[in-house]
Structure 1
Amino acid sequence: MTSIEDRWLRLAPVRIGWLGMEWQRFEREITMAFDEAVERGVLDRRYEFLFEDDAGLPQGTAKGGVDAFRRLVDAGCLAVAGANYTDSAMALAEHANALHVPLISMAGTDAFHGEYCFRMGNGDVGGDPALMVNWLKRQGHRRVAVLAPWSPIGEEYFRFFRQECRRLGVSVAAVETVDSGTTADALADKLAVLRAADADALAWLGYGGLVVSGAVRAALEKLAWDPPRIMTTAFMQYIWGFEQLEGWVGIDQWCPENPRMHRFHERFVARYGEDPWMWPNAIPGLAYDMAAAVAEALHRATVLTGPGVKEGLERIRFMPAVTGGPNTHIAGGPYDHQLFKGDWLHYGRVRNGALEFAGLFAPTDDY
């Protein structure tokens, strides 16, 4: 055994926590990111992953998520990734800040913030509406009907959406609110009200449960209404059934123009002999990016503690990303904990039962 190998085995491994039931499905992506960091010499010691399935809300309780997070911290995790739903991230923010352990989440809410809260969003409460209204304006749609599912993030979406409409001169013709229990018939009644407002297009602001269930498509078909329509990053649930999102444009993060996405896929297949789960979809690459960012933070950490890893995350600059468009990169800084930069959100479309890339952000004449 060489002295390097001996030192490697003598050093205690760093522990990283993964909070949420989805991480068991993406263990290969996050392991690949850490193994590649070891192979490149970025990470100079062994690592251990600890998993907790219960991230709390919305499926469980806030207490369940808090207890799971504390178990990971008590077990010695230097950072935790997860709490990826807006509800769970909001409930855990104060605990990450109090315990001085970085929590890196895919949540898009502005309500997840603080010294130890970091976001690598699977969408963004301000960014999604900005791109949606930009698309409406560039397509010539000046009056939009809004369907706003009730949720904590739905309120944030709507506030930003109205702001962007005011900025770009798009009128909100009508608004209807639904919840997760709304039936297809009740949804059709609400869509009929929106259709009667004589809007140019339809916008969906919120989670995508009713879309994936088929209720939205059934309601539109019942009315024989096929308007131009756009939705938030709930669009990325197309993986559960492209047919349910037929005709929709949405905010996406899987970009065929990003060469790093293709290289990630090639390396994954070479390593594991099959496509990632849910492929093609942004989430496997996003899981990889989150893990790679944690590995980079460990490399940059001033000391291997929670505060040290926080500083490591804040020291990342221009780290290329698999997620998003070709100019997407990862960077942090003190008080700058939204880690994705560049064209990390863009447009997709489902047409004829298949996903199409629908372009990167392009400014309107108003900018």
Structure 2
Amino acid sequence: MVSTARVGVLNDMADDGPAPGDVSDWLEHEVQALQRCGRITASVEFVHAYGLGLPSGTAEAIERAYQELAAQDVALVVGPAIGENALVLSPLVERLRLPTINWAGAERARGKYMFQLQVGSHEDEPLVMARYLASVGCRRLGVVFDVSPIGTRHLKFLQEEAAVLGLDVVAEAGISPLADAAEQEVATVLGARPDAVLYLGLGMTAPAVAKAVTATDWDGCKIMNTAGLRGYSGDFARICDGWTYIDMHSDTNATIKALCAAKNIPPEGALAAAKGHDLGRLVAEGIARATDHTREGLRAGLEHVKWLPAALGEEGTLLGFGVHDRGALHGRYLVLRQWLDGRSVPVT
């Protein structure tokens, strides 16, 4: 049996470290917890690689970073975090037969070797938004969406669910995912007199959309996908005040409540803690359940992770994989929240 489990950590949001989105501390914390209780007897070594991927960087950068990890003989990779980059890497992951856990929203970025911790979902989020809007009486929807694999995928599933619910998508306006102004697109959407305005995308241009809506006298329902998670840093929450959005953590979840209490984590840190905790548990449990620490051994180990209580999602959400199941979260893992006065509050 391989005496050391080598785990690659891939950061697709920077060219070098330290970088935003780093989950290394959480991975190490969960691995050490299982080492202390004797469930992991091997040493675990973390190897890091950085590549600024899409949309700010390039697909080549993220592929190069991934290949760096593969060349260092890692048996498992954690990352990337952005859906576009997970889609880019999927063929390479399968070709190299290197088990990888992405923590992005792309359901299509799954395979025999590509596992996913769903931090959002291009396919599920539009259904949650459409059903919420229907429940509050919004029938006419105006949509600003990123012209990208993320934005267009969201739009497709929104259109399908709207048709099921009898909602009308009365206007659509595509926008660059890196745009810093959105007056024209917002004017196009509002010109169709919608009951609700939606933003769908990665979120880098969401503040521009919010500013353009605020500058008008329109006062309808405003909602965005998990792009709203960017409100946990910078001025995003202030700019997007009043917008409902899809989050990944719930005030009712006993696992994250206990974790935050034990580590004295403030409410604004709950999402990052929940994400890091769940990702770390998947990695640690995969290593603990592997019969050996080769690539094939860790792939099989991940498939044996079952029914762990998740810190992400509503209470009762579970973590686990299976022989043909590569999506880790099971249950109501998407949570509606709203930015009000700089704070994230649950939508009831």
Aligned to 2:130: 133
1:63-212 matched pairs, under 5 angstroms: 63-184=60-181, 187-211=182-206
Deviations 1:173-206 (A, max 9, x none): 111111135343xx22322222221211111111
- State how far apart, in whole Å, the 2-side matches of 1:228 and 1:71 are: 46
Shift of 1:64: 2.3
CA contact (8 A) 1:55 1:88 kept: no
Aligned residue pair count? 340
68 and 183 in structure 1: CA distance in 2 versus 1, 3 angstrom threshold: closer
CA distance in 2, matches of 1:65, 1:43: 30
Q: Which residue number corresponds to residue 288 of structure 2?
A: 299
Counterpart-to-counterpart distance in 1, 2:21 and 2:107: 27
Is 1:230 aligned to 2:223, yes or no? Answer: yes
* CA distance in structure 2 between the aligned counterparts of 1:190 and 1:65, rounded to whole angstroms: 31
AA matched with 2:173: E
Length-normalised TM-score, structure 1: 0.87
Taking a change above 3 Å as real, the CA distance of residues 24 and 85 of structure 1, as seen in their structure-2 partners, is closer
Q: Which residue of 2 aligns with 1:284?
A: 273
Q: Does 1:246 align with 2:241?
A: yes
Q: 1:13 aligns with which of 4, 18, 33?
A: 4
Distance 2:122 2:178 in 1: 23
Letter in 2 for 1:257: T
What residue identity is the alignment partner of 2:345? E
Indicate whether 1:265 and 2:286 are aligned.
Answer: no
Contact 2:9 2:24 in 1 (8 A): no
| Aligned counterparts of 1:251 and 1:24: Cα–Cα separation in 2 | 19
Q: CA deviation at 1:35?
A: 1.5
- Report the 3-state secondary structure (helix = DSSP H, G, I; strand = E; otherwise coil) of the residue aligned with 2:169: strand
| Post-superposition offset of 1:326 | 0.8
Paired residue secondary structure (1:80):
strand
Amino acid at match of 1:244: I
- Asked if residue 317 in structure 1 is aligned to residue 317 in structure 2, the reply is no
Instruction: State the alpha-carbon separation in 2 of the partners of residues 25 and 294 from structure 1.
Output: 15
Query: Is the Cα–Cα contact under 8 Å of residues 140 and 167 in structure 2 kept in the other structure?
Result: yes
Report the alpha carbon displacement of residue 283 of structure 1 after superposing the two structures with TM.
2.8
Which residue in the other structure is 1:333 paired with? 322
TM-score (structure 2 length as normaliser): 0.91
Change (3 A) 1:18 1:161: same
Q: What is the percent sequence identity of the aligned residues? A: 26
Aligned CA-pair RMSD: 2.1
What are the ranges of 5 or more consecutive residues in structure 2 without an aligned counterpart? none
What residue in structure 1 maps to residue 35 of structure 2? 38
Alignment match of 2:342 (pick from 347, 350, 353): 353
Alpha-carbon distance change, 322 to 249 in structure 1, aligned in 2, over 3 angstroms:
same
Within 1, Cα distance between the matches of 2:270 and 2:152? Answer: 26
Following superposition, the deviation at residue 299 of structure 1 comes to 1.6
CA contact (8 A) 2:317 2:331 kept: yes
Between the aligned partners of 1:23 and 1:295, the Cα distance in structure 2 is 22
Deviations along 1:277-301, one digit per CA (max 9) or x if unpaired, are x943423321221121011111222
Q: Which has the larger radius of gyration?
A: 1
Q: CA deviation at 1:65?
A: 1.7
Shift of 1:120: 0.5
Which structure is higher in helix share? Answer: 1
AA aligned to 2:210 is R
Contact in 2 for aligned 1:118/1:337 (Cα 8 Å) = yes
**3-state DSSP of counterpart to 1:323:** coil
